[in-house]
Amino acid sequence: MPEDAQLLYNKVCQHARRTALLGSIEEVLGWDERTKMPPAGAEHRAEQMTLLSGILHQRRTDPDFGRRLAELSESPLAADPHGDSGTTIRRLKRDYDKRVKLPQSLVEELTRTAVLGQGIWQKARAENDFATFRPVLEKTIELKRREAEALGYPECPYDALLDDFEPEALTSEVTRVLAGLRDELVPLVGEIGQSGREPGVSILSRCYPIDRQEAFGREVASSMGFDFNRGRLDVTAHPFCSGLGPNDCRITTRYSEHSFASALFGIMHEAGHGIYDQGLRADQYGLPLGDAASLGIHESQSRMWENLVGRSHAFWRHYFARAQSRFPESLGDVRLDDFYFAINAVRPSLVRVEADEATYNLHILIRFELEQALLGGELAVADLPGAWNEKYREYLGIVPPSDALGVLQDVHWSGGAIGYFPTYSLGNLYAAQIFAQAETEVGPLDEQFARGEFQPLREWLGEKIHRQGQRYPAAMLVERITGKPLGSAPLIKHLWTKLGPLYGIG
């Protein structure tokens, strides 16, 4: 006897919510591991994680759950794919169908290879020795090819992998937008290099005592709207944001006494992620309507607060005097405009995580193009370092002096995360296009920022993005908000508008 659709729906939601509750325990373990766990605790923690992920995998691939979802997807509750129940059914079914397509043996081999790969990569990077990393990367690429074949894809195998991070995105679409971006960025960066102007960035590496950096960072994050009653800020080597529950979002940063910008913009970046997390619907926790739309949309929130807000002239018209009073020895004699130029310096560099707002996307493009070529078989892993260096020469005009500063710099590929990189640039593109729309709907934003008012922007983002959850795929969400499909024009316009006057170009 078929179960009543509403009853089925309730069961499916309850199952998903309990799975998410269990998954949130995994987040606690992960946060603790990265922030507080004593060094010798690592082995036992790995065992705890393995046990929990086994229980989670069972729940997520539970055949009853799958049967109910299949039945529901034929019911009237699924009729509107972007309605409340329709969204829930569509997204849960999507995730379930993906998970059960992967044979257990392949999942285990991927996991094992990722753990192994990260260990080998760490050593290879430390010793600047690509050759020892090559075999495990070859294995990874081969496994990811098998994964893509097992999952299936609309146009090309890369689609299947990209989908893990940016659901329903197509490689062809992403390529179109990123290629457009590249064609504008390369000449922009070139003109900046030829401009003959350079900001005095050394003011940013004067002495900034860490306790005062932290206090300033907390002040800024709070005024952005990050709620410390529902969150924390800690210190880690690699900053991140983690949601441990609907009212427990934790961000981290790292401090260096002689670097004003890295911790502050790091905090603003992670607080941007955190505000998205804290803005999700708590009543839908564990369900698609209470979950983030995609990694790209998540990154759009962090990049928007970091770059479009935090590196704006208006923001510092409010905050510069406050920064000066916290750091009088280092900023007392600095002019606002010199400071503003310094935090917006553009200069081709070798390392992605240290790149500026403009060149950052070129770092991503290089990785996006290379990983597609690796997966498609047009590029052999053995030829990867050479191809990497060639792209850096072509797009950024510089060549890494070593693989450690080149092809070995990022952790992603070693852990099997192929298809992740483009979400960073998608985040920048989404951010610029959404921000331009916010300007027309809640602006003038710069006047608000100059008064230290961030609530109007935050509330608008909450309504347009945070509380939408996964109702729409990212591309559709952006088009609904802005009235246009994603394009590179808003980001390019933002960069020219800001950098043109600073460098006297354009």
Q: Which residues are catalytic?
A: 270
**Binding to its own copies by residue 484, rule CB under 8 A?**
no
By C-beta, is 52 or 373 nearer to its own copies? 52
Q: Give every strand in the sheet of 231-235, ordered side by side.
A: 231-235, 248-253, 241-245
Residue 249 pairs in a beta bridge with: 231, 243
Among 11, 13, 25, 114, indicate the residue that binds its own copies (CB under 8 A): 25
**Binding to its own copies by residue 115, rule CB under 8 A?**
no
Residue 51 burial (CB < 10 Å; 0-12/13-18/19+)?
exposed
**Binding to its own copies by residue 186, rule CB under 8 A?**
no
**Binding to its own copies by residue 32, rule CB under 8 A?**
yes
Build a one-symbol-per-residue string for 119-158: x at contacts with its own copies by CB under 8 A, - elsewhere: ----------------------------------------
Build a one-symbol-per-residue string for 52-71: x at contacts with its own copies by CB under 8 A, - elsewhere: x--x----------------
**Half-sphere exposure for 284 (CA within 13 Å, toward CB):** 21
Build a one-symbol-per-residue string for 271-290: x at contacts with its own copies by CB under 8 A, - elsewhere: --------------x-----
Q: Which residues in 241-369 belong to E strands, given as ranges?
A: 241-245, 248-253
Q: Are 395 and 366 contacting, i.e. CB atoms less than 8 angstroms apart? A: yes
Q: Are 387 and 406 contacting, i.e. CB atoms less than 8 angstroms apart? A: no
By C-beta, is 2 or 43 nearer to its own copies? 43
Give the whole-angstrom CA distance, residue 310 versus residue 281. Answer: 26
By C-beta, is 27 or 184 nearer to its own copies? 27
Q: Can you spell out the DSSP letters for 45-77?
A: HHHHHHHHHHHHHHHHT-HHHHHHHHHHTTSGG
**Binding to its own copies by residue 48, rule CB under 8 A?**
yes
Q: Are 260 and 294 contacting, i.e. CB atoms less than 8 angstroms apart? A: no
Minimum CB distance to its own copies, residue 39 (Å): 5
Give the whole-angstrom CA distance, residue 482 versus residue 345. Answer: 29
Stretch that binds its own copies, among 87-95, 227-235, 257-265, 490-498 (CB under 8 A): 227-235
**Binding to its own copies by residue 24, rule CB under 8 A?**
yes
Among 6, 10, 51, 215, indicate the residue that binds its own copies (CB under 8 A): 51
**Binding to its own copies by residue 205, rule CB under 8 A?**
no
Q: Which residues in 236-342 belong to E strands, given as ranges?
A: 241-245, 248-253
Residue 251 pairs in a beta bridge with: 233, 241
Contacts of 183 (CB under 8 A, 6+ apart): none
Stretch that binds its own copies, among 64-72, 105-113, 182-190, 243-251 (CB under 8 A): 243-251
Tell me how many residues contact its own copies (CB under 8 A): 35
**Binding to its own copies by residue 36, rule CB under 8 A?**
yes
Minimum CB distance to its own copies, residue 408 (Å): 29
**Binding to its own copies by residue 45, rule CB under 8 A?**
yes
**Binding to its own copies by residue 201, rule CB under 8 A?**
no
Axis crossing angle, helix 5-35 with helix 63-72, rounded to the nearest 10 = 130
**Binding to its own copies by residue 13, rule CB under 8 A?**
no
Residue 213 pairs in a beta bridge with: none
Among 155, 179, 228, 463, indicate the residue that binds its own copies (CB under 8 A): 228
End-to-end CA distance of the chain, in Å? 70
Q: Among 139, 213, 176, 63, which residue's Cα sits nearest to residue 374?
A: 139
Q: Which tokens go with 106?
A: 């392949």
Residue 242 pairs in a beta bridge with: 250
Give the whole-angstrom CA distance, residue 61 versus residue 53. Answer: 12
Minimum CB distance to its own copies, residue 50 (Å): 9
Minimum CB distance to its own copies, residue 220 (Å): 18
Build a one-symbol-per-residue string for 245-264: x at contacts with its own copies by CB under 8 A, - elsewhere: xxxx-x--------------
Binding stretches for its own copies (CB under 8 A): 18, 21-22, 24-25, 28-29, 32, 36-41, 43-45, 47-48, 51-52, 55, 227-232, 244-248, 250, 285
